[in-house]
């Protein structure tokens, strides 16, 4: 018996990036480095080589051993995913009913999926033989910096010196290195960085285990002290999930910093998840300033593949002690992780809404914290109704920062009745005069509109023609400066016609987007610097920073933008916020539209009066009596949330029930619906027995997108367990349906947006 147990495993179960809901068994050759659980292996799959991750080692397989293929190569000698992380991935695969191989592929950076090493690399420099000879002759004589570098490296011999030590010994050494490299006297190489594991950080001698804290802590407010006392009073470790509800500017970030500091002092690492666009640069800046010698890894969608791999290596080796990242960073391997923070937890970018594996990073952060038995903090000025509900039921512990931290007072909100006003290019007279007053008083102004481009519609003045997208059930957006018509749904892009293609009469734009608002503000306020912030302007975070810098320096005094401006930018002289049109969220078919509208208004309004000057917020609407707006104005977000939760309860929508959406698309509308009809029939008997409601199938609100027809079937139940058991039984059945082959389909568990 003993012999069998200690013999090396003969088989490994590998998760591969295929749509099949299973792992694949491979034999382990005796004479090669052994694969480890959680490590990557290269294996033959059909006629290809694939990189997969070992989920388990075994002695036997359900397949005859003689028929198994053999692992080609063990890529990792240490696990890429440690046991708790592997468990999280398996959990995610089960919960989202998605093949584990694809889940793991989504978690890995592209280059790691392609088999590149994950060992953190350190850049070393050493002399060549020619360099040693040159150094012996005191060369190069006229370049003392180069000579000094060559001397240092010659003395270090074959070991060489790493870039960090060189920086310490010879600041500005890189220029000299380039010159010596060109002469062939020195060379560089990448070596695996020794790994820091567990509680101590042995990475290099230059790093102390205790973080140095440089910038001044502000004197904490009473509320901040109470919040910290609650969270820390619950113990430094052990699972506990907190909902930190703090109005904008209440000092949530300061709370994160102090909590992180405590963990860093214990030798633990901290993961901070942030929304896709927005605060990342500022938050990274705040952490970097507070902990100047704590290595930090940043992971967001703007990184190149190489940068992403480097960030992952830094995290996995334990070198990075702070990891700040967007959605997929929830899967980052981080040894001795002691605290998770999800900033702006209500933000919809935490939910992956495309592709096959549609996970919620916020929800997985809770699961990960639970598995690691460490605390997790969800922070927001406008918590999601899910989180508020979880706080009410005790799954989250709510702590609050009800007031702004600095001297700032809350802004005053006012509705502007668009039916009673003269409106030009979306701006009411009231708004225009408020803008001039605030500019005259040296304030800055933020104008929010949830539409980019010049105008959402191009129409004929005579025959009623409206520029449609050929591939979508949508109108083309006008881009006047660029002279283009573009579709926001499929990316179609064509010339802006001057005449109606149908009757030849003149065309005109209808409505407005950011570009048009910017133009009319420039006319109304000549000489005033105006900046624009939307996805057309900002393709990368550094462009976002450039706009933010123009505002901060006062070069721009009016900022026009979409959703993006709502994200935590802190402009102390910003005193007026104008919400151009609140009405689209009021009458949507999506049950979450009201929640999103309320969050946006509160977030945008939070930009006003961040410092000592009082802020003013104008919300333009044609429905000033709408209860959502009046409620928000009189009772704030809390009152709104209470009312909205009541509504959800009586309609049995989430969080009072659970949803899953089966989404399909096909080149023919019938194929999409036919598949869902069949899927529905396959679910019906089980659904009835399990108390799961089936809603649909129905075409999506925008049925045609990018030449494909979209439809969905909703499954709803108050019993999460019943819903998931049904999904478990049902998915293999619908996968086998012949009609499944004519469509693309995906399952979305806990969908955020219903189309």
CB 449 → ligand ADP: shortest distance, Å?
23
CB atoms near residue 54 (< 10 Å): 29
Between 254 and 347, name the residue whose CB sits nearer to ligand ADP.
254
Q: Which of Zn ion, ligand ADP, none binds 246 (CB below 5-8 Å, type-dependent)?
A: ligand ADP
Nearest to 579 by CA among 451, 450, 448, 452: 448
Determine if 402 is a binding residue for ligand ADP (CB under 6 A). Answer: no
Nearest to 565 by CA among 530, 532, 539, 591: 532
CB 329 → ligand ADP: shortest distance, Å?
19
Alpha carbon of 431 to those of 127, 419, 437, 629: distances in Å? 68, 14, 10, 18
395 three-state secondary structure: coil
Can you tell me the distance from the alpha carbon of 271 to that of 717, in angstroms, rounded to the nearest whole number?
Answer: 33
CB 642 → ligand ADP: shortest distance, Å?
22
CB 468 → Zn ion: shortest distance, Å?
9
The count of residues interacting with ligand ADP (CB under 6 A) is 17
CB 274 → ligand ADP: shortest distance, Å?
11
Rule CB under 5 A: which of 461-480 touch Zn ion?
Answer: 462-463, 465, 469, 471-472
Nearest to 324 by CA among 256, 375, 374: 256
Q: Which of ligand ADP, Zn ion, none binds 583 (CB below 5-8 Å, type-dependent)?
A: none
Q: N- to C-terminal Cα distance for the chain?
A: 58
Token pair listed for 6 = 């200690």
Determine if 254 is a binding residue for ligand ADP (CB under 6 A). Answer: yes
CB 366 → ligand ADP: shortest distance, Å?
21
- The DSSP line for 6-74 is HSPPSEEEEE-SSSSSS-EEEE--TTSPPP-TT-EEEEEETTEEEEEEEEEEES--SS-GGG--B--EE
Can you tell me the distance from the alpha carbon of 628 to that of 402, in angstroms, rounded to the nearest whole number?
Answer: 21
Q: Which of ligand ADP, Zn ion, none binds 284 (CB below 5-8 Å, type-dependent)?
A: none
Compute the chain's Rg from CA coordinates.
Answer: 29
Any residues with CB less than 8 A from the CB of 567 and at least 6 apart, and which?
275, 277, 278, 279, 344, 603
Q: Which of Zn ion, ligand ADP, none binds 252 (CB below 5-8 Å, type-dependent)?
A: ligand ADP
Q: Which of ligand ADP, Zn ion, none binds 218 (CB below 5-8 Å, type-dependent)?
A: ligand ADP
CB 702 → ligand ADP: shortest distance, Å?
35
Q: Which of ligand ADP, Zn ion, none binds 469 (CB below 5-8 Å, type-dependent)?
A: Zn ion
Between 254 and 595, name the residue whose CB sits nearer to ligand ADP.
254
Determine if 703 is a binding residue for Zn ion (CB under 5 A). Answer: no
Can you tell me the distance from the alpha carbon of 449 to that of 455, in angstroms, rounded to the nearest whole number?
Answer: 12
Between 438 and 486, name the residue whose CB sits nearer to Zn ion.
486
Q: Which of ligand ADP, Zn ion, none binds 251 (CB below 5-8 Å, type-dependent)?
A: ligand ADP
CB atoms near residue 36 (< 10 Å): 17
Among 10, 40, 113, 252, binds ligand ADP (CB under 6 A): 252
Determine if 249 is a binding residue for ligand ADP (CB under 6 A). Answer: yes
- The DSSP line for 286-345 is HHHHHSTTS-EEEE-TTS-HHHHHHHHHHHHHT--SEEEESGGGGG---TTEEEEEEETT
- The DSSP line for 157-218 is TTT-EEHHHHHHHSTTHHHHHHHHHHTTSEEEEEEEPPPP-TTS--S-TTS-SSPP--SPPP
Of 242-250, 479-487, 577-585, 643-651, which segment contacts ligand ADP by CB under 6 A?
242-250
Determine if 690 is a binding residue for ligand ADP (CB under 6 A). Answer: no
* DSSP alpha helix (H) spans, 510-583: 514-524, 541-552
Rule CB under 6 A: which of 203-222 touch ligand ADP?
Answer: 218-221
Rule CB under 5 A: which of 502-531 touch Zn ion?
Answer: 502-503, 505
CB 244 → ligand ADP: shortest distance, Å?
9
Among 319, 346, 489, 709, binds Zn ion (CB under 5 A): 489
Determine if 568 is a binding residue for ligand ADP (CB under 6 A). Answer: yes
Between 49 and 612, name the residue whose CB sits nearer to ligand ADP.
612
In the complex, the residues that contact Zn ion under the rule CB under 5 A are: 460, 462-463, 465, 469, 471-472, 487, 489-490, 492, 500, 502-503, 505
In the complex, the residues that contact ligand ADP under the rule CB under 6 A are: 218-221, 224, 246, 248-254, 405-406, 568, 570
């Amino acid at each position: 018996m003993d012999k069998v147990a200690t013999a090396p495993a003969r088989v490994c179960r590998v998760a591969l990036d295929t749509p099949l809901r299973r792992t694949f068994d491979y034999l382990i050759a005796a004479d090669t480095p052994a694969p480890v659980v959680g490590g990557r292996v290269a294996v033959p799959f059909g006629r290809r080589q694939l990189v997969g991750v070992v989920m388990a080692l075994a002695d036997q397989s359900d397949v005859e051993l003689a028929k198994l293929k053999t692992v080609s190569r063990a890529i990792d000698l240490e696990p890429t995913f440690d046991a708790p992380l592997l468990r999280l991935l398996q959990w995610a695969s089960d919960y989202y009913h998605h093949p584990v191989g694809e889940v793991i592929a989504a978690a890995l950076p592209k280059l790691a999926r392609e088999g590149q090493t994950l060992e953190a690399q350190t850049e070393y420099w050493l002399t060549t033989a020619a360099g040693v000879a040159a150094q012996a002759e005191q060369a190069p004589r006229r370049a003392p910096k180069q000579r000094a570098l060559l001397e240092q490296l010659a003395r270090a011999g074959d070991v060489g010196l790493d870039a960090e030590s060189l920086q310490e010994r010879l600041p500005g050494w890189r220029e000299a290195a380039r010159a010596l490299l060109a002469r062939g006297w020195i060379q560089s190489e990448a070596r695996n960085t020794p790994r820091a594991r567990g509680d101590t950080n042995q990475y290099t001698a230059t790093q102390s285990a205790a973080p140095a804290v440089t910038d001044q802590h502000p004197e904490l407010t009473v509320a901040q002290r109470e919040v910290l006392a609650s969270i820390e009073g619950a113990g430094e470790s052990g699972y506990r999930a907190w909902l930190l509800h703090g109005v904008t500017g209440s000092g949530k970030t300061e709370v994160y910093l102090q909590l992180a500091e405590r963990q860093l002092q214990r030798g633990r690492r901290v993961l901070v998840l942030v929304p896709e666009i927005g605060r990342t640069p500022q938050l990274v800046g705040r952490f970097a300033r507070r902990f100047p010698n704590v290595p930090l890894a940043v992971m967001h969608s703007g990184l190149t593949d190489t940068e992403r791999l480097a960030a992952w290596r830094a995290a996995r080796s334990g070198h990075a002690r702070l990891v700040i990242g967007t959605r997929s960073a929830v899967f980052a391997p981080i040894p001795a992780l002691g605290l998770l923070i999800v900033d702006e937890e209500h933000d919809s970018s935490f939910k992956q809404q495309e592709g096959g594996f549609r996970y919620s990073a916020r929800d997985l952060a809770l699961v990960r914290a639970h598995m690691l038995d460490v605390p997790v903090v969800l922070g927001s000025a406008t918590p999601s109704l899910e989180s508020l509900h979880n706080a009410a039921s005790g799954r989250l512990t709510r702590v609050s920062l009800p007031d702004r931290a600095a001297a700032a007072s809350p802004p005053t909100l006012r509705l502007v009745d668009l039916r009673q006003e003269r409106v030009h290019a979306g701006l009411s007279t009231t708004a225009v005069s408020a803008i001039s007053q605030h500019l005259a008083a040296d304030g800055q102004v933020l104008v929010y509109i949830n539409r980019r481009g010049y105008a959402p519609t191009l129409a004929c003045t005579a025959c009623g023609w409206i520029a449609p997208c050929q591939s979508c059930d949508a109108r083309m957006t006008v881009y006047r400066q660029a002279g283009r018509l573009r579709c926001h749904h499929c990316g179609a892009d064509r010339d802006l016609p001057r005449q109606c293609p149908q009757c030849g009469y003149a065309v005109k734009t209808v409505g407005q987007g950011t570009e048009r608002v910017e133009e009319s503000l420039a006319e109304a306020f000549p000489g005033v610097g105006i900046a624009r912030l939307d996805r057309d302007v900002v393709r990368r975070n550094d462009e976002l920073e450039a706009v933010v810098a123009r505002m901060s320096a006062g070069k721009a005094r009016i900022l026009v933008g979409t959703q993006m401006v709502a994200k935590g930018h802190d402009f102390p002289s910003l005193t007026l916020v104008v919400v151009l049109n609140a009405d689209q969220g009021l009458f949507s078919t999506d049950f979450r539209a009201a929640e999103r509208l309320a969050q946006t208004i509160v977030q945008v309004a939070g930009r006003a009066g961040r410092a000592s000057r009082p802020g003013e917020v104008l919300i333009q609407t044609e429905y000033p009596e709408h209860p959502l707006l009046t409620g928000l104005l009189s009772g704030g977000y809390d009152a709104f949330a209470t009312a909205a939760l009541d509504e959800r309860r009586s309609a049995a929508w989430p969080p009072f029930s659970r949803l899953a959406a089966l989404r399909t698309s096909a080149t023919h509308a019938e194929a999409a619906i036919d598949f869902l009809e069949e899927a529905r029939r396959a679910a019906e008997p089980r659904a009835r027995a399990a108390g799961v409601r089936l809603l649909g199938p129905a075409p999506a609100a925008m049925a045609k997108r990018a030449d494909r027809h979209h439809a969905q079937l909703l499954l709803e139940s108050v019993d999460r367990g019943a819903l998931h058991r049904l999904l478990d039984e049902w998915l293999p059945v619908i996968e086998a349906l012949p009609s499944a082959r004519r469509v693309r389909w995906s399952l979305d568990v806990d969908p955020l947006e219903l189309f």
